[in-house]
Structure 1
Amino acid sequence: MSERLKPGDTAPAFTLPDADGNEVSLASHQGRKVIVYFYPAALTPGCTKQACDFTDNLEALASAGYDVIGVSPDKPEKLAKFREKENLKVTLVGDPSKETLAAYGAFGEKKLYGKTVTGVIRSTVVVGEDGTVEQAFYNVKATGHVAKIMRDLGV
């Protein structure tokens, strides 16, 4: 089980391919706050709802100084289909090796329909301009989570 991040921790660096195969790194967002959210799979109902919520609120978040990056174990091709099908505006990156997911504490044991399974733990980490974790939320719900984060961040 990977260790969960907490406020004050240094956010693990990552460079992952986006839906177009371009590399996206946390370092390239230095000087801006970044909401990094982790979701199990593109093109599934809960993950679609969450990605659409982030897209719908992207302007307000950007105005408040936040960039948004969604991370899943999907390959760029699937992310591109997801983006096109749902008209998503958030940056989606793939982590097929699950190294970044694990580094952020977003991969490990979880309960699914009463059974313990290993997989992606729906999580959101808010990274400050200096690269440290400001907030970390684990086992979040797909629905209503973006509204909660915006309330917590005062956006």
Structure 2
Amino acid sequence: MKLASSPENPVLILERFNGIEIYPVELAEWNLYKDKENGMMNLWIALSMGLAIKQQKDTEPLHAKPNWELNLVEQGLQVELIKPGFTAVIPESYDESRDGWITNFYYCEHEGTDKNIIEVVEVDGNRVRFRLLGETVDVNYYDGSKPATKLSADVWFDRNQDGGRTMS
């Protein structure tokens, strides 16, 4: 049986080359705002995790508390579009046309995430249930010698009107 992230079990799942790692979500925030630097709208999504619930032997000594940030930077984004059925793709972590780094995954080092999919499952006022998928370099082998780690989460996010992109 594969453990999945869900609103009842808000976790970040890392599918690594050597097995699954599971981290409890401690903070899940989002915001939609106009980026003053580039004049585009930015859907900011951020997750902060606690210590692992399940971990692989090679990363246990690291005592990691991962963070994942996604920024969907688009001209025509509006809050009315953030509703069930909304799906967006962020293919790469760095996009010069969108003002540089737009994704970040921190485990022990900052790395971008690629092949990101953002899906809105439910909306309840300022709370949005996002289902997120992405890929990053392996969290313990940063040299590319191992297959990409797949990331997934299905979590309720609270809107933070002051929240926004932390990287450039």
TM-score category, normalised to shorter length: under 0.3
The structure with the greater share of residues assigned to helix is 1
Normalising by structure 2, we get a TM-score of 0.23
- The structure having more radius of gyration, on CA atoms, is 2
The structure with the greater share of residues assigned to strand is 2
Normalising by structure 1, we get a TM-score of 0.24
